[in-house]
């Protein structure tokens, strides 16, 4: 079997999201065949995303059925020169945003990052909320960054996630009172002067709203996509729409809508109560033709996990943890879809 034969077999492997075979979609970078072994490079850029893992498994199965051993690798060309790559070791940057405060955006960001690491990915979590950084508390990270001889910061690590936050660089109770230009300067330094290493995903926890920090991010680094967090009630959805419009104006894909605090299940009576309403996030996603990433219930264990530094996504016995794991997989799958569509257009 030669390269032509292998590519013919690969035409039988269909992308589960885009609905065509991987050769027609341009997802096969290279094929070499030697000693009954096919070495194949695939344009898959969302490591550990369930659907991309499924594609890889289908490739192996199709070639194994033909008696061919398979060695797979993955590479997505960024089309950026080395000078344009602000974070050259980071494959995907995921912004977690909300139109207003109090919807649990940081909780979603922390559990998303920990969930991606739980899948096996190399993950960074950047707390970009300059005025109210709280990620270190939510993962019980007390270690401050070390500095290298080149004056680069080495981020501490927790739950397999590399962390950076303004909370590491200021006093515990010191307020940050800065104007916009100072925010831009500090955030840019934190992106460029940190030894992030090789990451599959960087999750950026943005402050609420549509201000200086959001603009700095969108103008400085290539954001793969954004997750918009909302609660079900209309006042939160109105503000979520502002965030959606902001990303649209900067041509940043939205990975989907996450509905937090969806339903409260009473631990005493067992009844369910829609304290903030129910289903608003799903309806919002449908109305704006956006993916719906899932609903997260209003669960006291999420609050206690955040205060004690134990992301609930890591609790295999928790139904709420399972909701976060579903959300994590949906986000990773949608990152893959965006990357594969981009590859298809090139």
Which residue positions form the known binding site for ATP? Answer: 99-106
Unique residue bearing structure tokens 């590491």: 168
Q: Which residues contact 321 (CB under 8 A, 6 or more apart)?
A: 312, 313, 314, 315
Rg (C-alpha) for the chain, rounded Å, is 21
Burial of 56 (0-12, 13-18, 19+ CB in 10 A): middle
The position carrying tokens 């899948």 is 119
d(CA 225, CA 252): 6
Contact 332, 120 (CB under 8 A): no
Dist CA 140 CA 154 (whole Å): 18
Annotated binding site: 99-106
Which residues does 8 contact at the CB level (< 8 Å), separation at least 6? none
The helix (run of H) or strand (run of E) holding residue 34 is: strand 28-34
State how far the Cα of 293 lies from the Cα of 97, in Å rounded to an integer.
14
Candidates 173, 132, 168; CA nearest to 147 is: 168
Could you tell me the CA-to-CA distances from 122 to 104, 128, 133, 298 in Å, in that order?
A: 24, 19, 22, 29
Tokens linked to 299: 């669960």
- If residue 153 lies in a helix (H) or strand (E), which one and from where to where? strand 153-154
Measured torsion, CA atoms of residues 156, 159, 160, 162, in degrees rounded to the nearest 10: -30
- The C-alpha atoms of residue 134 and residue 125 are separated, in whole angstroms, by 12
**Pairing, β 93-97 against β 201-205:** parallel
């Amino acid at each position: 079997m030669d390269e032509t034969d292998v590519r013919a077999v690969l035409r039988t492997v269909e992308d589960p999201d885009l609905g065509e075979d991987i050769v027609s979609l341009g997802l096969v970078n290279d094929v070499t065949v030697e000693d009954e072994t096919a070495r194949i490079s695939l344009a898959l850029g969302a490591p550990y995303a369930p659907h991309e893992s499924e594609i890889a498994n289908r490739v192996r199965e199709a070639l194994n059925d033909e008696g061919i051993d398979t060695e797979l690798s993955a590479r997505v060309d960024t089309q950026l020169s080395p000078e344009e790559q602000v974070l050259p070791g980071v494959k995907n940057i995921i912004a977690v945003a909300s139109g207003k405060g109090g919807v649990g955006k940081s909780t979603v960001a922390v559990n998303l990052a920990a969930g991606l690491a739980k899948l096996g990915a190399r993950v960074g979590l950047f707390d970009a909320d300059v005025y109210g950084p709280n990620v270190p508390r939510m993962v019980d990270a007390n270690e401050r960054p070390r500095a290298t001889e080149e004056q680069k910061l080495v981020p501490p690590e927790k739950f397999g996630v590399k962390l950076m936050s303004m909370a590491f660089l200021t006093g515990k109770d010191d307020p940050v009172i800065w104007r916009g230009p100072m925010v831009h300067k500090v955030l840019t330094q934190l992106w460029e002067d940190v030894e992030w290493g090789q990451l599959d995903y960087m999750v950026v926890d943005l402050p609420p709203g549509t201000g200086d920090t959001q603009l700095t991010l969108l103008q400085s680094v290539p954001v793969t996509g954004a997750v918009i967090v909302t609660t079900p009630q209309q006042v939160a959805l109105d503000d979520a729409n502002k965030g959606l419009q902001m990303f649209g104006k900067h041509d940043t894909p939205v990975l989907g809508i996450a509905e937090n605090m969806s339903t409260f299940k009473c631990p005493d009576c067992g009844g369910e109560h829609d304290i903030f309403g129910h289903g608003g996030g799903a309806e919002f996603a449908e109305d704006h033709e956006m993916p719906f990433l899932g609903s997260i219930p209003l669960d006291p264990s999420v609050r206690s996990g955040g205060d004690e530094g134990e992301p609930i996504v890591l609790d295999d016995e928790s139904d709420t943890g399972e909701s976060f794991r579903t959300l994590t997989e949906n986000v990773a799958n949608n990152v893959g879809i965006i990357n594969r569509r981009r590859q298809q257009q090139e």
